[in-house]
Amino acid sequence: MLLPDKKEEASRDKRKYKTIDYTIDKKLIDKYKGKTFYLKTYGCQMNERDSETLVAMLKQLGFEEVEDYKKADFLLLNTCSIRENAHNKAFGMLGRFKHLKETKPDIVIGLCGCMAQETGVCEELLKNYKFVNLVFGTHNLDKLPELVDKAFENDERQIEVFSREQDLVEELPVIRSNKYKAYVNIIYGCDKFCTYCIVPYTRGRERSRKKEDILKEVDSLVKDGYKEITILGQNVNAYGKDLYDDYFMGELLEDIAKTKIPRIRFMTSHPWDFTDKMIDVIAKYDNIMPSVHLPVQSGSNKILKLMGRRYTKESYLELFNKIKNKIPGVTISTDIIVGFPGEEEEDFQETIDLVNYCKYDNAFTFIYSEREGTPACRLKEVIPMEVREDRLQRLNEVVNKYFLENNNKLLGKVLPVLVEGISDKKNIYYGYSDTNKLVNFTSDKELNFGDIVDVEITEVHTWSIDGRVK
């Protein structure tokens, strides 16, 4: 049994990590033919991308995927720790699995991902969730085949969670869940240690993939007919800093833009590392989408400092304006937390003022959630939950107003949209514009999924817009 340790998870050093290729024990291939698995994924795009690899590895073992957990021999939760509700959902699901195990004692139940990296969670699983057979973390995802095999072969529980990052593994198998849009990891982990955030503990230090490996993956996606990639990292702007002296996110973006991939998006960008080079490259290349996610978290300098965000409201706005001025037609989205410890009404008003200034095209708004072991958790000036909820509601009213106001300006305009699907009921296609707006649209001719078509906007709503193909 190997359990995580928070102190070790928080430690950082310049230890070199190796890049190694994924291998699977030949004896395990197809060993589980005839067996089924159920996988549920919580959380961010990084987790979704990890799950695409988990699925591929399980299929190598011979498992077949089922949608109904009651029909599965192996049940796995790929979990998220970012806020308490993600936690609660996963524990709720484990409760349902427990019932199933009572009638089907041979099933194997597993939990992986960010929650597995938390000492408290592992202790809870050990004590009160004895029916969970397998726990592994974010640093040994590639070991899934042998861990699953051990869990099926042994009665003993398999708990293997590394506190520190391991070698970086390339050539991992993947079965992508979408035929036209793909995620491409460029950097793992985070060294920013914003005081509220658990990610630096659960995902380890920043480790960039080699540029050759990334470009090879993008080239193969182009060959396979993919139309859009989203470059992923907890903080993509830190790309290359741990690996190269003169090759960073701007350079990588430019090299990716030079491939034939029609659409490039990236997330998430910390305002701290957003360079002029990046802005110039985004402005220069048509296949880098003019849509930037730039989390602000708060509009109060006092709170930004307590959050350890490394920028002020003024420097954020300077960057915001630079991006707006240099990238034609760019849309900007953000993340905001309300109710961080010490946030007084005036601080919250500063956040509202900032939103009134930035008029974001999209915003993900959150109630501050205490994460065990993070520095913010020790702050004394805790904001009562009713106040947090009230602020969230007031903030949402303001952000929603601007979504609609911005969308109104699109009436009559023509936007390029990637055709992603069709809704059965109304024969209406849907997809996203270059600026990341969800568009529902009609067409006189039948369209191919994966095409990029020009859509004239005829009606707008808060969270989506309607149109017809030109």
Q: What is the total count of residues that contact ligand 5AD (CB under 6 A)?
A: 12
By CB under 6 A, is residue 371 in contact with ligand 5AD? yes
Tokens of 408: 């109104």
Residue type, 23: T
Q: Which of 75, 121, 135, 197 binds ligand 5AD (CB under 6 A)?
A: 197
By CB under 6 A, is residue 190 in contact with ligand SF4? yes
Q: Which of 44, 109, 184, 199 binds ligand SF4 (CB under 6 A)?
A: 199
CB of 46 to ligand 5AD, least distance (A): 10
CB of 369 to ligand 5AD, least distance (A): 4
The interface mask with ligand 5AD, positions 297-316, x = CB under 6 A, is x-------------------
83 or 227: CB nearest ligand 5AD: 83
Interatomic CA distance for residues 280 and 230, integer angstroms: 19
Place of tokens 């990296």: 117
| Residue nearest to ligand 5AD as judged by C-beta position | 335
Label residue 329 left, alpha or beta by phi (over 0 means left) and psi (-120 to 50 means alpha): left
Q: How many CB atoms lie within 10 A of CB 109?
A: 23
Contacts of 21 (CB under 8 A, 6+ apart): 169, 170, 171
Question: Helix 313-326 and helix 276-284: axis angle, to 10°?
Answer: 20
Nearest Cα residue to 3 out of 117, 97, 89: 117
Q: How big is the chain by its Cα radius of gyration, in Å?
A: 23
Interatomic CA distance for residues 150 and 156, integer angstroms: 9
Interatomic CA distance for residues 416 and 453, integer angstroms: 5
By CB under 6 A, is residue 336 in contact with ligand SF4? no
By CB under 6 A, is residue 82 in contact with ligand 5AD? yes
CB of 198 to ligand SF4, least distance (A): 8
Interatomic CA distance for residues 231 and 225, integer angstroms: 17
Quick one: what does residue 91 bind among ligand 5AD, ligand SF4, none, with the CB cut-off 5 to 8 Å set by partner type? Answer: none
Secondary structure of residue 366 in the 3-state scheme: strand
Nearest Cα residue to 462 out of 372, 400, 420, 395: 400
By CB under 6 A, is residue 232 in contact with ligand SF4? no
Q: Which of 158, 235, 369, 407 binds ligand 5AD (CB under 6 A)?
A: 369
232 or 417: CB nearest ligand SF4: 232
Strand partners of residue 37: 65, 74
By CB under 6 A, is residue 366 in contact with ligand 5AD? yes
By CB under 6 A, is residue 296 in contact with ligand 5AD? no
- Cα atoms in the 13 Å half-sphere on the side-chain side of 110: 33
- Give the binding range for ligand SF4 (CB under 6 A) out of 194-202, 348-356, 430-438, 455-463: 194-202
Interatomic CA distance for residues 370 and 197, integer angstroms: 9
The interface mask with ligand SF4, positions 235-264, x = CB under 6 A, is x-----------------------------
Name residues contacting ligand 5AD, limited to 336-365 (CB under 6 A).
Answer: 337
Quick one: what does residue 192 bind among ligand 5AD, ligand SF4, none, with the CB cut-off 5 to 8 Å set by partner type? Answer: ligand SF4
Pairing of strands 158-160, 263-267: unpaired
Which CA distances in Å does 106 have to 63, 96, 115, 140, 152?
A: 15, 16, 24, 25, 9
Quick one: what does residue 184 bind among ligand 5AD, ligand SF4, none, with the CB cut-off 5 to 8 Å set by partner type? Answer: none
194 or 465: CB nearest ligand SF4: 194
Place of tokens 């830190």: 238
Quick one: what does residue 83 bind among ligand SF4, ligand 5AD, none, with the CB cut-off 5 to 8 Å set by partner type? Answer: ligand 5AD
- Contact positions toward ligand SF4, by CB under 6 A? 190, 192-194, 197, 199-200, 234-235, 270
- Contact positions toward ligand 5AD, by CB under 6 A? 82-83, 196-197, 295, 297, 335, 337, 366, 368-369, 371
